[in-house]
Amino acid sequence: MGQRLICCLDAPSALQPPPLLPVRRKLLLLCIMLFLWLYVFYSCAGSCASVPGLAGRPAAAAGVGEAAAAAGAHGEGLQVLSKLLRRAPSGGARGLAGSAAASPSEPREEQSAAAEPTSPISSFFNGSGTKKLPQAIIIGVKKGGTRALLEFLRVHPDIRAVGAEPHFFDRNYEQGFAWYRDLMPRTLDGQITMEKTPSYFVTKEAPARISAMSKGTKLIVVVRDPVTRAISDYTQTLSKKPDIPTFESLTFKNRTTGLIDTSWSAIQIGIYAKHLENWLLYFPIGQILFVSGERLISDPAGELGRVQDFLGLKRIITDKHFYFNKTKGFPCLKKAEGSSKPHCLGKTKGRTHPDIDREVVQRLREFYRPFNMKFYQMTGHDFGWD
C-alpha cells in the first residue's frame, strides 16, 4: 500500500513540462537571424538608395529619428538601430567622389554651406543624400555627341547627373555656387555628381571659373570631325530657322577667294586646338578626357569603358546595355535610367543633313587640317579626320 502511494505521489512528475532548452534554442536562433537581417539590410541600404527611382524621390521624413518617433514601440527600435549605424564607420568615398570632396580648392561659399554627411541608413529612409558641386563636367562640344554620352553614363549606379544644361560657367555665374549646387541631384557617398554644358569648351572664362570651383574637377570633351560637326550645327539651326542663308554662303567671307569666315560659330567651334590652349592654362592634359564622337556611335561600350576608367568607376556599362537602331543610325539603350524599356535619343538627334557642295566640304577639310594636326599632337591621339 505504501509503495502504491509513493507511486501515486511520483506519477504527477511525469506530467511536468519538458525542459525549456528547445525554447531557448529557438529564441537564440531567432536573435541570430534578426542580427543577420539587420546586417544585410544595413549593407544594402546604400545600394538600394542609389537606385534612381528611390534616390530621386522627395524626402518623406526629416530623418530616421522623426520617422521612428511616429512609429511607436517599433520606432524606438529604429532609433536604436539608427544610433548604432551612425557609430559605424561610413567608409571613404572611393575614386573621384572622395578626392574631389576633400579638395582644398573648393569655394569658401561651398565649404560653409556644405551639408553634414548622412549615414547610408538615414539616406535610405529619407531618399535624399546630399547635393554637391559636380566632380566631373562634360564641357563640349556642341553637336559632338554630349547628350548621348550623358544618357549612357546615367545608367551607371554611381553617377548622378542633372538632365538640363545648367550653363552656370557661361551664362549664370553671377548666381553663385550655392545656386549652382542646388541644381544638382542628391548623391550618396561614393557617387559622382555630373553635368554637361557643351558651350563651356568655347567660353573664354569657363576654365578659370571651373578651376576656382575645384582644381580637381575632371573634364570630358566629346569631339567629332569638325566638318561634319559644322554641317550638323547648321542643320539644327535650319530646323529652327528655315529662312537662314545656305551653308555655303555662311562658310565663306569671300566665295571667290575661298576665305573661310571663322567668326561663324559653326566654323569657330571646330578649331579645337585653339580652344584647348585656353583650358591647358588651368588644367593639366591628364585631367581632360577626349571622347571620339564617331566611336561613340560605332563602339559605344568601348568609349564608355574609357570614361568609366577615367572617372575611377567600375566598368558596369558594357555591350549588353546597347543595341543598334538601324532607322536612326545610332546605338540605343536597352534599358534607360529608371526604366525597363529601350530608349533612343529624341527626334532632334540624328537629323538628315542637307546636301552640301563637295567643293565647299573639301575647302573646309583643307582649312581644318592644320588645326586637327595640332589637336592630335596636344592630346596625343589621332582621331582620323584627315
Of 117, 145, 123, 149, the closest CA to residue 136 belongs to: 149
The 10s digit of each residue's pLDDT in 263-313 is 999 999 999 999 999 999 999 999 999 999 999 999 999 999 999 999 999
329 Cβ neighbours under 8 A, 6+ residues apart: 297, 350
What is the pLDDT at residue 70? Answer: 39
The pLDDT value given to residue 233: 97
With cell 543595341, the residue in question is 323
Residue 42: predicted pLDDT: 55
Angle at 309 between CA 308 and CA 313, to 5 degrees: 60
Q: Given this model, what pLDDT does residue 34 score?
A: 80
> In this predicted structure, what is the pLDDT of residue 298?
94
pLDDT of residue 302: 96
User: What's residue 7's pLDDT?
Assistant: 43
Query: How far is residue 11's CA from residue 107's CA, in Å, rounded to a whole number?
Result: 86
Q: What pLDDT does 240 receive?
A: 94
Q: pLDDT 10s digit of each residue in the chain, 386 long?
A: 444 444 444 444 444 545 556 777 777 888 788 877 776 665 555 444 444 444 433 333 334 344 333 334 344 443 433 444 333 333 333 444 444 443 434 443 443 333 434 444 444 444 579 999 999 999 999 999 999 999 999 999 999 999 999 999 999 999 999 999 999 999 999 999 999 999 999 999 999 999 999 999 999 999 999 999 999 999 999 999 999 999 999 999 988 888 999 999 999 999 999 999 999 999 999 999 999 999 999 999 999 999 999 999 999 999 999 988 877 777 999 876 666 667 787 555 566 888 999 999 999 999 999 999 999 999 999 999 98
Nine cell digits for residue 177: 555656387
pLDDT of residue 19: 54
Three-state DSSP at 236 gives helix
How many beta carbons lie within 10 A of that of residue 289, not counting itself? 19
Is residue 343 helix, strand or coil?
strand
* Residue that is written with C-alpha cell 549615414 in the block: 119
Q: By C-alpha distance, which of 148, 110, 174, 161 is closest to 293?
A: 148
332-363 residue pLDDT tens: 998 766 666 677 875 555 668 889 999 999 99
Task: Tell the residue number behind the cell numbers 502511494, with chain if given.
Answer: 5
Cβ-contact 202, 273 below 8 angstroms: no
Q: Give the per-residue pLDDT at 57.
A: 39
Q: Are 64 and 78 in contact (CB under 8 A)?
A: yes
Quote the radius of gyration of the chain (alpha carbons, Å). 30
Determine contact, residues 354/68, Cβ cutoff 8 Å.
Answer: no
Give the closest residue to 176 by CA, choosing from 133, 144, 217, 218: 133
pTM of the model: 0.68
Cα of 5 vs its chain's centroid, Å: 86
Please say whether the beta carbons of 167 and 294 come within 8 A: no
Phi then psi dihedrals of residue 109, to 5 deg? -60, -40
Distances (CA, A) of 344 to 51, 319, 329: 21, 16, 11
